[in-house]
Amino acid sequence: MLALSFVLIVMDQVTKWIVVNQIPYGKSISIIPNFFKLTYVKNTGAAWSLFMGNQVLLITMTIAVLFFFFFYLYKKEDINKLDILIYGGLLGGIFGNLMDRIRLNYVIDFFDFMIFHYNFPVFNVADIFIVLAGIVLIIKIFKEGDNGVV
């Protein structure tokens, strides 16, 4: 799980490094016109810019979540391959964005989609890992029922 997390953190940080070094801040590169572009933005908030500018709060909340997450994993008796993917994805994504917050005081985002005339919030690779792992975790919980999964 930690090896997977490490690989995902590296993927996240490398893509952010490429964006910072190839796209001027605030500028975009159109990939699919009127649908998808790469736009370098600095996000001082969480999803949909919640808590914008409150880096201390966001860092504190993230560390608290990680503390409870590791405590949960320590107590969990059986971890299967799906759990490794889920928790590895969550950890990789969470740490990828936490590293930005601590190092830069913001998170580097760049995937920029226009979906049915809605400019979806710009996001990054770490966000993808968090969302996908979260979706799979929710599906797993519903499939297994209330048997102490979480």
Catalytic residue list: 109, 127
The strand pair at 36-43 and 107-115 is best described as antiparallel
Closest CA to 86 of 131, 123, 137: 137
Q: How far apart are CA 80 and CA 146, in angstroms?
A: 18
Contact predicate 41/122, CB 8 Å: yes
Closest CA to 90 of 126, 57, 138: 126
Q: How far apart are CA 55 and CA 105, in angstroms?
A: 6
Q: How far apart are CA 5 and CA 133, in angstroms?
A: 12
